[in-house]
Structure 1
Amino acid sequence: MMKCMILAVASLLGAVSASAQTHYPLQIENCGRKVRFEAAPERAVTIGQSATEILYSLGLADRVKGTSVWFNKVLPRYAEVNAQIPRLADNDPSFESVVARKPDLVAVQYEWHVGPNGVVGTREQFADLGINTYILPADCDTKDNSTGGDGTRVGAFDPVQVYKGIRQLAEIFDVADRGETLVDDLQATEARAVARAKALDLPKGLKAAFWFSSADIALDPYMAGQLGAPGYMMRALGLTNVVQSDEEWPTVGWESIAKADPDVLVIAKMDRRRFPADDVEEKLKFLRSDPVTRQMKAVREGHIVVMDAHAMSATLRTIYGLDSLSDALAGMTFQ
């Protein structure tokens, strides 16, 4: 009897393992383009921190031959392996530098880097060299990138778009079981963060705003629109976004933000230095000294949350950002 049970369990595990295997050639629909894989990629280059960290999280660091476009330091658990992989650029890499790494896959976070008007290159340019491209669905599902820049959301971001990207990359690399494990972990974190916020019984109508950066500290800031990743975080935790725009990062005057008077202000921390306001200390100094911003309730009451900039994009770090915001709310008192 025991032997039969063992054989039955072994047979079941074998069936599960077999069902998780990728059968090549694999063809998937990706951001309006059909992509075909004859085998699992051996050499990947990433353009975008999210693509990099997903591949690391899937245990595929050994396949990554170059990275680029970094907002924050890599997740601490991948610091050692990341240090061994060439960084092609902190920001936008050149087409030539990507191709020089001889990739058979270029995994991309933003369509504006590799797309119809890609600043690095088009998908056709890479295809002409026999190089597959994969763009994370979180940047094209429910989003119109034809407007240029950060694009415009045509529907609200949902973590399912991140999970879709994880599952598809896992399938492409024939590690579907690892993809499911990662999605399960992220969903558990998401559920825990939402449950924590609900238990706080926050006042209804609590208002929030997310400040990413500013072209100049004195200019109108780039604030989170209502349909991007920060909008999702606010909705999930019962907060109302004071910025009612569908743009990903519209510029909004401080006078308008101050008039809306958010109860909570979330500001981006990043290692990137394109603008002075990329420095979180410059943000804090401005908020506390400017005659308009220092009168806002969030500033007066110290309800300022510092969050990794990468969590404010539609990435797996959005889930960690949700968790950190939920935790921060637990330490605040609202009148």
Structure 2
Amino acid sequence: MNLPFLSLVAISALIAKGAYAAPTEYPLTIDNCGIEITFDGPPENVVSIGQSATETLYALGAEDRMAGTALWFSAVLPEFADADASVERIADNAPSFESVVNKRPGFVPTMFEWMIGPKGVVGTREQFADLGIPAYVMPPDCEGKDNLVGADGTRLAPFDIATLYKSIEQMAAIMNRQDRGAELIAELQAREAAAARRARALDLPDASAVVWFSSAEMERDPFVAGQKGIPAWMFERLGLRNVIESDEEWPTVGWESIAKADPSVIVIARMERRRFPADDHEKKLEFLRSDPVTSQMTAVKEDRIVILDAEAMHASIRLIDGLEALTDAMETLSQ
């Protein structure tokens, strides 16, 4: 579904008229990254693996059909606090296969193919299919991407936000929440366009950026955003140049190379996950300001460091929040 950009007035008018979408006709068969999955009715006991998938379901108002969630990076959005309180969190990180299937799920969506895929940490699609459980990978992580190359996969084509909107559309159809799905897509598209217009109007000369997501150890090379991933799409949409040239999703690159590129802005991820020491954004800031190499970078000296929600760097409904936050930061560059 590629809805036109709609104003909030137009959205409200459509809602008032009930003009969005007809209810799902079951059985529903969806092609999910080359694999067909079928639903005989709205699924019960949904277990979502990954915050992006979970918060999309909450945004669709589907929490009443959910039995569990897993793999969290940040606190749930405040507007979904009540919904989240009603659904069991079976794991903060990757859940076990047994903990998922013990919920007798009728649907298991995930944000990452490395959770459910050929090398799935939780399991393979075949393992779930053998139990009659439809497993679904959000299209941004399996369309135009090879997840068998590199630690976090390699993009075969640049990230396309249409795959995020496709995820919302498909999950809305599966859960029989098409009206809310169409409204959500239109709202996100309108905000995306507004942020891009605002950023492009600044007309900044050769503004560049780097994204530091985390590091396995503080003294080791950081995980940064590659050329074709989601942060790179955000940069391109706003007219920023990504100084990292790798096509890997999150390659490791030495600070010496990053310092040589001297990006205008350094974006660091903020998250509640503590898998690695550098998951803590305060430790990132301390490192940048004290390390002999990074402390000499222009962005550090001039305090052009943007702290961005980690989930806003994923294909999630928070992505547009991140786009708007980056636009705000760009406006400070023009002053």
How does the TM-score come out when normalised to structure 1? Answer: 0.93
Matched with 1:9 is none
Distance 2:219 2:297 in 1: 17
Return 94-103 or 247-256, whichever deviates more. Answer: 94-103
Matched with 1:86 is 88
Matched with 1:262 is 263
Return 88-97 or 75-84, whichever deviates more. Answer: 75-84
Return 192-201 or 86-95, whichever deviates more. Answer: 192-201
Q: 5 Å matches for 1:49-198?
A: 49-147=51-149, 149-198=151-200
1:214 is displaced (CA, Å) by 0.4
Distance 1:51 1:321 in 2: 17
1:311 is displaced (CA, Å) by 1.1
**Which of 28, 42, 45 is the matching residue for 2:44?**
42
Is the CA contact 2:204–2:334 (under 8 Å) kept in the aligned structure 1? no
Is the CA contact 1:138–1:315 (under 8 Å) kept in the aligned structure 2? no
Q: Which protein has the larger Cα radius of gyration, Structure 1 or Structure 2? A: 1
> In structure 2, what residue type is equivalent to 1:81?
A
**Which of 21, 24, 27 is the matching residue for 2:26?**
24
Matched with 2:4 is none
- What do the CA deviations read for 1:116-168 (whole angstroms, capped 9, x no partner)? 12110111111111111111001011111122531100001121110000000
1:18 is displaced (CA, Å) by 9.3
Distance 1:123 1:148 in 2: 21
> In structure 2, what residue type is equivalent to 1:253?
G
Return 240-249 or 32-41, whichever deviates more. Answer: 32-41
Is the CA contact 2:20–2:178 (under 8 Å) kept in the aligned structure 1? no
Distance 1:81 1:252 in 2: 39
Q: 5 Å matches for 1:195-210?
A: 195-203=197-205, 205-210=206-211
Are 2:230 and 1:232 aligned? no
Distance 1:115 1:281 in 2: 34
**Structure 1 residues 75 and 228: CA distance shift in structure 2, 3 A:** same
1:192 is displaced (CA, Å) by 1.3
- Secondary structure of the 2:168 match is helix
Q: Give structure 1 regions of 4+ aligned residues with deviation exceeding 4 angstroms.
A: 15-19
Structure 2 unmatched runs, 5+: 1-13
> In structure 2, what residue type is equivalent to 1:188?
A
- Secondary structure of the 1:202 match is coil
**Structure 1 residues 302 and 175: CA distance shift in structure 2, 3 A:** same
> In structure 2, what residue type is equivalent to 1:325?
L
Distance 1:329 1:148 in 2: 31
Distance 1:47 1:169 in 2: 14
1:17 is displaced (CA, Å) by 6.0
**Structure 1 residues 296 and 19: CA distance shift in structure 2, 3 A:** closer
Distance 1:78 1:315 in 2: 14
- What do the CA deviations read for 1:277-313 (whole angstroms, capped 9, x no partner)? 1100000000001110011111111110000111112
- What do the CA deviations read for 1:204-262 (whole angstroms, capped 9, x no partner)? x1111000000111000001001111000110111111001100000000000000000
Is the CA contact 1:226–1:241 (under 8 Å) kept in the aligned structure 2? yes
1:94 is displaced (CA, Å) by 0.3
- Secondary structure of the 1:116 match is coil
Distance 1:24 1:292 in 2: 59
Distance 1:115 1:245 in 2: 24
Is the CA contact 2:154–2:247 (under 8 Å) kept in the aligned structure 1? yes
Matched with 1:3 is none
> In structure 2, what residue type is equivalent to 1:158?
D
- Secondary structure of the 2:212 match is strand
Distance 1:46 1:218 in 2: 34
Is the CA contact 2:202–2:334 (under 8 Å) kept in the aligned structure 1? no
Q: How many residues align?
A: 321
> In structure 2, what residue type is equivalent to 1:328?
A
Matched with 2:10 is none
1:264 is displaced (CA, Å) by 0.5
Distance 1:220 1:67 in 2: 31
> In structure 2, what residue type is equivalent to 1:320?
D
